[in-house]
């Protein structure tokens, strides 16, 4: 069986831990909607079980999960066309994760840079779940036989591990059961940087709220954050090559390109040579035009939490219908007695 033998299926996930920001939107959500609109089967998951690898206040986790669902829908995901659900409602993820804990090797996990970053200096005090996190991520993807995984650049290493797990399982059991999924890391904004520092990633954990645009920010806040974004004193260069060594300028150009659905070359043709005093208002107008409606729609959706819960329960039932037979077959391959009835 070759990769082509698997029906194309897209899976991706986002953690409900804190605010969604422009990096999540351009690196993930916007591209989730594009995959959906191509007519491929798409599953998108709020990965609450990943979120609890670090402490989450229960009330905050519930609010963040529903707000994330609202963010998915406001970004163009249609619950009728995409399967939208939260991870903990589909037990097959954790069941498959255990299998993969037994496939993945300690050495593979120890190489994960995200674990090292998140655990920091006190790795002995990190949860076991934080260490095993990438095996659960592999389970998310492979329990659906997903073939394509749209993510931002920071998830590349986890996707490589997912591929290694699929290859090792297939090899150890002499089967071609799991597809080897393709990371889809495309477009101008696969790594959106902080607005305060062009060398660090835009992230929800940055203490400065000015470093990121949140999808819940209103129009004035979005415009202010762009106006105050760090830049250098030179005008934009006239060619892409001139962005070399100018990380803040590069970041704003990338954001513009991704928001406008343009290539970086097209942006340079339009804005090359302009001083930031001209380019920033252009970018602010564009960002407000694209992001403010999302924030308004999220607020509207959050007025009806029971509707959000209904969408997640419906998505979970549809997800389970795909996951359950794949888990059962996995157990059968491994020799688990009674697997047919799982
Ligand atoms: P998470 O929740 O940290 O981020 C969600 C998505 O947003 C992307 N992203 C960015 N893209 C561009 N620029 C940025 N500054 C930026 N910050 C975040 C991430 O790359 C990601 O695509 N482990 C995953 C969640 C996950 C998952 C999965 C993803 C769990 N299971 C299965 C794909 C498939 C994570 O923590 O993403």
Residue of minimum CA distance from atom 37 in ligand 1: 14
Domain locations in the chain as residue ranges: 3-189+304-341, 209-300
Q: Which of 9, 43, 45, 47 to mutate to test the pocket of ligand 1 (most atoms within 8 A of CB)?
A: 47
Which CATH code is given to the segment(s) 209-300?
1.10.240.10
184-to-12, 25, 72, 155 alpha-carbon distances in Å: 10, 15, 18, 10
Distance between CA 197 and CA 211 in Å, rounded? 8
β-pairing verdict for 41-46 and 182-184: unpaired
Catalytic residue at 280?
Answer: no
Instruction: Kindly report which listed range (30-34, 277-281, 292-296, 338-342) carries the lowest average pLDDT score.
Output: 338-342
177 Cα–ligand 1 center, Å: 26
Q: Which of 13, 20, 32, 203 to mutate to test the pocket of ligand 1 (most atoms within 8 A of CB)?
A: 13
Residue of minimum CA distance from atom 19 in ligand 1: 152
The residue with tokens 């297939």 is: 170
Catalytic residue at 38?
Answer: no
Q: Is the pLDDT of residue 315 over 70?
A: yes
CATH of 3-189+304-341 among 3.40.50.620, 3.30.310.80, 3.50.50.100, 1.10.132.20: 3.40.50.620
Q: How far is CA 250 from the centre of its chain?
A: 22
**What is the tens place of the pLDDT at every residue in 136-175?**
999 999 999 999 999 999 999 999 999 999 999 999 999 9
β-pairing verdict for 148-150 and 182-184: parallel
- The mean pLDDT value for 332-339 works out to 95
pLDDT at res. 2: 46
Q: Is the pLDDT of residue 89 over 90?
A: yes
b vs e for 227-265, b when ≥16 Cβ sit within 10 Å of the residue's Cβ? eebbbeeebbbeebebbeebbbbbbbbbbbbbbbebebe
Q: Is the pLDDT of residue 120 over 80?
A: yes
- 181: DSSP letter: P
Catalytic residue at 204?
Answer: yes
The residue with tokens 């979120």 is: 51
Distance between CA 274 and CA 296 in Å, rounded? 32
Give pTM, 2 decimals.
0.96
Q: Is the pLDDT of residue 309 over 90?
A: yes
Question: Can you tell me which atom of ligand 1 is nearest the CA of 193?
Answer: 15
Q: Is the pLDDT of residue 283 over 50?
A: yes
């Amino acid at each position: 069986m070759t990769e082509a033998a698997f029906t194309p299926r897209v899976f991706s996930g986002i953690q409900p831990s804190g605010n969604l920001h422009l990096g999540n939107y351009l690196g993930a959500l916007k591209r989730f909607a594009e995959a959906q609109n191509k007519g491929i089967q798409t599953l998108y998951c709020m990965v609450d079980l990943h979120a609890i690898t670090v402490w989450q206040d229960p009330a905050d986790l519930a609010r963040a999960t529903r707000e994330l669902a609202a963010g998915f829908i406001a970004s163009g995901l249609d619950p009728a066309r995409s399967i939208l659900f939260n991870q903990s409602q589909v037990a097959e993820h954790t069941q498959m994760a255990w299998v993969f804990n037994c496939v993945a090797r300690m050495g593979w996990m120890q190489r994960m840079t995200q674990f090292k970053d998140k655990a920091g200096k006190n790795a002995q005090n990190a949860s076991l779940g934080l260490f095993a996190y990438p095996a659960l991520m592999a389970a998310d993807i492979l329990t659906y036989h997903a073939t394509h995984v749209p993510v931002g650049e920071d998830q590349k290493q986890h996707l490589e591990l997912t591929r290694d797990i699929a290859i090792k399982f297939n090899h150890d059991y002499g089967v071609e059961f799991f597809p080897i999924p393709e990371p889809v890391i495309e477009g101008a904004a696969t790594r959106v940087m902080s607005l305060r520092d062009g060398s660090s990633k835009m992230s929800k954990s940055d203490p400065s709220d000015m470093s990121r645009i949140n999808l819940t920010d209103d129009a004035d806040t979005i415009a202010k954050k762009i106006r105050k974004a760090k830049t250098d004193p030179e005008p934009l260069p006239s060619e892409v090559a001139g962005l070399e060594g100018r990380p803040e300028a590069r970041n704003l150009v990338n954001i513009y390109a991704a928001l406008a659905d343009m290539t970086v070359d097209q942006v340079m043709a339009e804005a090359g040579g302009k001083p930031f005093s001209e380019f920033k208002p252009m970018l602010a107008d564009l960002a407000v035009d694209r992001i403010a409606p999302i924030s308004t729609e999220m607020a509207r959706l959050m007025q009806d939490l029971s509707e959000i819960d209904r969408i997640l329960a419906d998505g979970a039932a549809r997800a389970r219908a795909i996951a359950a037979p794949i888990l059962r077959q996995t157990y059968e391959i491994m020799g688990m007695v009674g697997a047919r009835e799982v």
